Structure 1
Amino acid sequence: MTRSRSSVQSLQARVAELKASSQWYRILYEHNPSMYFILDAAGTVLLVNRFGSEHLGYDVKDLVGQPVLQIFHADDREGVKKQLQACLQHPGKVFDWEFRKIHKDGSTMWVKEAACAVDDPNGHPIVLVACENISKRKQAEEALKESEARYRVLAENAYDLICETDLRGRFFYVSPNYTEVLGYTSEELLGKGIFDLMPATDVTAARASYKRSVETGAAAQMTFRLVPKDGSPRWFESTAKTYRTAAGALRAVIVSRDITERKRLDEELLKRSKLESLSVLARGIAHDFNNFLTAIISNLAIAKLDARPGSEQEKLLSEAEESAHEARGLTQQLSTFATGGGVPVKQTVTLPRFLRDAIRFALRGTEVTCKFAIAPNLWPVQIDTGQIGQVLSNLVINAVQAMPKGGQIELSAENVRLAAQNSYALNRGRYVKIAIQDHGVGIPEENIPRIFDPFFTTKDTGSGLGLSTCYSIIQNHQGNIFVESSPGKGTTICFFLPAAKRQAKGATRQKPDEKKTVYRKSRGKVLVMEDEDRVRVGIGRMLGHLGFQVAYAKNGAEAIHLYKQARHAERPFDVVIMDLSVPGGLGGRETLLNLQELDKDVCAIVSSGHFNDP
């Protein structure tokens, strides 16, 4: 009896334990923050926990007995059906998937489900499904995908070059513009380093900036050159910024903008500004030096007139006079550089014949020939043929000197249309591009920025004014001139001239007339107005030797006073010779206007070694 009571008590305790355990499992099942479903083989809901039904906006009774497919998005139902069939075909194997369920209010919920097929106590197959709401994760993933797609579109369609590198600068990603600008495919670049594409002279500074960015985490600004596949370095302005990947690796994103053309324009503007400053200085020097030479040459000429023909004295004076004229030639070159040859006297010219005549004339007596490549229907241009002829002559002389063993140069001419924004620092419009190429020794890279500087030369002889004069003349024609050269590969100099708006009659390069100077005695009164004492006296002496009676004035006020006196004395001047510019006083222009008020028939000559005035 006692044993029987003990057994009953043990059974009761076991039952109590089972009830308690069942309650715990019921609590765990009903209130677990996951959705649980039990489905039969047809996909009907046999059981759903309270959290699952409430999370979908339903009561448990609303879902039990209903096809589970009805709470899935219509586009996902076929996929869910296939996954459930797979579970039933492989009992005991866990399957998982991600699909969309529909809340009772019609909103969509992304869920991740894990499912496994087992047999119920009666041996019938059922599917156990554990379900988790992953809508927030899906939204984050979609936002990330959208962000990645947006930035990839930006990177792959940006004008800039964009790359991702490791700490040594090796490429992990390069944007398509690397191929467009540098000519390398992405396969050729991946695994290489950005520093491998730089000229050796640029690497040290670029590495220092890159290292600073890595150490500080701040964006680094760098300017360097990259060498494209064709070998002609291009300038880039770059920003580098480091970041850490999800795995903790440190990477850098480098955004580079091609500034080659901008840098070229900046250098062109700097060169133009520098040459303008130099031209002001050169103009003043040429004017003063020309005055000195005028006095020297005039006095030498007078001395020669008094020397016995054939004497040693005449020989010495002739040599001095010849040297003075050579010095005047240098002064004229300096003046030409300073003023661009003066105001061009333009005419509309058909270029083909003009170019051929000018080049052949410049090549006479040399061992160099020229191959012409002149485009048909070349536009006419408005030029000063003498000045442009001088440009061609200077360029040909340089080309010949670069090929001491002779050879062939090429001249090409073609029509070009330039947009408003162009790399040649020229206005929008039609131009004729003329290029002269030699195959000589070439110009070292470090000398190219100075090639148009006055007095810069690498030759043993020459004034260094040839190319600077060309630059000034072309600028005065509203054009521009450029040089491209590589040591050992020759030099190409090209210049642009604006096309004319009307047709040309044709022009050839004119040769100067050769006239012999003949001196003869004359009579008359001459008034010389010149502020420089030596020039004024020199001119007076020359005129005196020619038989003229000369009076002198230092400025316009004196000249007007002397002219009035001579008229009142009824001994007027036959001619007045005046300097155009007189510092601190009336110059030739203003004086002439005053003289014309006194005498409408005044005969005057206004001249200057400083300005070209129409």
Structure 2
Amino acid sequence: MERITRAERLEQELAQSEARLRESEDRYRQMFEKNRAIKLLIAPESGQIIDANPAACEFYGYPRAEFQTKNIKEINTLSAAEVDAEMARAAGEQRAYFVFRHRLASGAVRDVEVYSSPIEAGGRCLLYSIINDITERKQAEQALRSNVQLFRTLVENAEDLITIFNRDWTIRYESPAVEKMLGFKPSELRGRHLLETVHPCDRRAILRAMKYKTEHPGELVPVKGRIRHKDGSYRILEGRSVNLLENPAVGGIVANTRDVTERERAEAALRESEEKFRLIVETTNEWIWSMDREGRSIYDNPAVEMLLGYSPDELRGRDMSELMHEEDRRMMEQQLPAFFAAKRGWTGLICRYRHKDGSYRYLESNAAPVLDARGELAGYRGADRDVTDRVRAQQALSEKEEQLRQAQKMEAIGQLAGGV
């Protein structure tokens, strides 16, 4: 009776074990067959593919029956020896994660990551491999690396200076342009505070700009100031900066500046020259003028009021021929087309201009053409001076000479008559 009971118990335990085994196999089969992850079973000693789940068949493009005739070495782009070495590492549990390039049935090659570990199946050791397609990720990573390299190349070869400041305005990064611009190697400025290099007279303005930039993230802010060169001189830097402290890729305040010292000096010299010219023009006794090609006044210096009684504002936009004596205006109307056609000016041209009081003044004119960007005549600039006294003196002298000639003529006639 006891033997029967023991046998029944053994049968029950065996049945339970078989049920658990079937349940485990079914669970494994469900995980293998119905999982969307790409899975392969591989014999590590040969590389023969024992089985492939439907997701693998779909990814690689092989029917399941054909897949089971394939060797992993036909799919992996590594050499056979390299594949054997990697399978040995996986089988020996020395390594479980791999990145390979696998060839599909279509001939396309995809980047894959493989998680592979040994399992016991049917009394033999197999590699249970889970494969993920990472082609797009690898391409994105490569694109990112290319962009980073491009950015680095641009920054390191740019004429402009790229600076990144920490939140406390200490220098975290300087591009190589700093050495050419300020004489310092990038490492010599790293960790130093911005204000250490700013000209004392510019610090207040720079402090205001620093405060504004800190309070307005993401906004491009103009920046300009004198920065000390390594030789002790100061260079004028100009550019823009932006607060990217909250940008995780940057985490700093980025400034893009260029050296405008020579430009500033040239502009200052030009302003000085223009000021000298303005003083000369505004204090000279000659009438300095500019007109368009229609003869309308564009500019007249203050001397015109002394010469003709009109203020510059009264003449602006006015046809200057209106002030000419009618005889002289007709003469100019005949001569100007030739001047215009040849794009040339004139010298020593004397015309009578009507004064505001109604009288006429003789003005001697010198003018040069003004050409536009296309080389076309845009107008004239010139300088006129009052020669009324000289002309009248010449006229008086001419009259006296004429009177003298007449007198001499009459005297000669008288002598001739007396001799008869």
Say yes or no: TM over 0.5: yes
2:345 match: none
Q: Distance in 2 between matches of 1:6 and 1:597?
A: 158
Secondary structure of the equivalent of 2:111?
A: strand
2:48 to 29, 39, 44: 44
| Distance 1:270-1:14 versus aligned 2 partners, 3 A rule | same
Amino acid in the other structure paired with 2:136 = K
| Distance 1:127-1:17 versus aligned 2 partners, 3 A rule | closer
1:136 match: 136
| Distance 1:181-1:5 versus aligned 2 partners, 3 A rule | same
Q: Distance in 2 between matches of 1:243 and 1:178?
A: 21
1:256 match: 257
Note the 1:470-489 alignment, pairs <5 A. Answer: none
1:453 match: none
Amino acid in the other structure paired with 2:68 = V
Is the Cα contact below 8 Å between 1:110 and 1:138 reproduced in 2? yes
Is the Cα contact below 8 Å between 1:93 and 1:117 reproduced in 2? no
Q: Does 1:176 align with 2:180?
A: no
Q: Does 1:103 align with 2:95?
A: no
1:28 match: 31
Secondary structure of the equivalent of 2:106?
A: coil
2:77 match: 73
| Distance 1:555-1:102 versus aligned 2 partners, 3 A rule | closer
1:259 deviation in Å? Answer: 0.9
Gaps of 5+ in 2: 286-358, 363-383, 404-420
Q: Distance in 1 between matches of 2:246 and 2:80?
A: 38
Residue deviations 1:369-414 (CA, integer Å, cap 9, x gap): xxxxxxxxxxxxxxxxxxxxxxxxxxxxxxxxxxxxxxxxxxxxxx
Note the 1:148-547 alignment, pairs <5 A. Answer: 148-217=148-217, 218-244=219-245, 250-283=251-284
Is the Cα contact below 8 Å between 1:94 and 1:114 reproduced in 2? no
Amino acid in the other structure paired with 1:184 = F
Q: Distance in 1 between matches of 2:60 and 2:280?
A: 87
Q: Does 1:83 align with 2:86?
A: yes
Q: Distance in 2 between matches of 1:13 and 1:268?
A: 102
2:298 match: none
1:591 to 386, 392, 406: 392
1:71 deviation in Å? Answer: 1.2
Amino acid in the other structure paired with 1:157 = N
Secondary structure of the equivalent of 2:88?
A: helix
Q: Distance in 1 between matches of 2:73 and 2:22?
A: 34
Residue deviations 1:517-569 (CA, integer Å, cap 9, x gap): xxxxxxxxxxxxxxxxxxxxxxxxxxxxxxxxxxxxx9979xxxxxxxxxxxx
1:336 match: none
TM-score, with length taken from structure 2: 0.63
Is the Cα contact below 8 Å between 1:34 and 1:131 reproduced in 2? yes
Higher normalized strand content (fraction of residues): 2
What is the Cα-based RMSD across aligned positions, in Å? Answer: 3.5
Secondary structure of the equivalent of 2:42?
A: strand
Secondary structure of the equivalent of 1:83?
A: helix
Q: Distance in 1 between matches of 2:397 and 2:30?
A: 123
1:155 deviation in Å? Answer: 0.9
1:55 deviation in Å? Answer: 1.3
1:245 deviation in Å? Answer: 6.9
1:66 deviation in Å? Answer: 2.1
Amino acid in the other structure paired with 2:251 = L
Secondary structure of the equivalent of 1:94?
A: coil
Is the Cα contact below 8 Å between 2:216 and 2:243 reproduced in 1? no
1:589 deviation in Å? Answer: 4.9
2:349 match: none
Q: Which has the higher contact order (CA 8 A, sep 6+)?
A: 1
Q: Distance in 1 between matches of 2:94 and 2:245?
A: 39
2:127 match: 127
Q: Distance in 1 between matches of 2:245 and 2:360?
A: 80
Residue deviations 1:203-258 (CA, integer Å, cap 9, x gap): 23223213322221112211111111112111111211122577587311110011
| Distance 1:117-1:27 versus aligned 2 partners, 3 A rule | closer
| Distance 1:66-1:239 versus aligned 2 partners, 3 A rule | same
Secondary structure of the equivalent of 1:591?
A: helix
Is the Cα contact below 8 Å between 1:162 and 1:254 reproduced in 2? yes
1:283 deviation in Å? Answer: 3.9
Aligned length: 305
Is the Cα contact below 8 Å between 1:96 and 1:112 reproduced in 2? yes
Q: Distance in 2 between matches of 1:600 and 1:97?
A: 118
Q: Does 1:58 align with 2:62?
A: yes
1:169 deviation in Å? Answer: 2.1
Secondary structure of the equivalent of 2:66?
A: helix
Q: Distance in 2 between matches of 1:160 and 1:149?
A: 18
Residue deviations 1:318-357 (CA, integer Å, cap 9, x gap): xxxxxxxxxxxxxxxxxxxxxxxxxxxxxxxxxxxxxxxx
1:490 match: none
1:119 deviation in Å? Answer: 5.9
Secondary structure of the equivalent of 2:191?
A: coil
| Distance 1:68-1:591 versus aligned 2 partners, 3 A rule | farther
Secondary structure of the equivalent of 1:106?
A: coil
Is the Cα contact below 8 Å between 1:160 and 1:177 reproduced in 2? yes
Is the Cα contact below 8 Å between 1:224 and 1:236 reproduced in 2? yes
1:144 deviation in Å? Answer: 0.9
Secondary structure of the equivalent of 1:73?
A: coil
Q: Distance in 2 between matches of 1:168 and 1:65?
A: 66
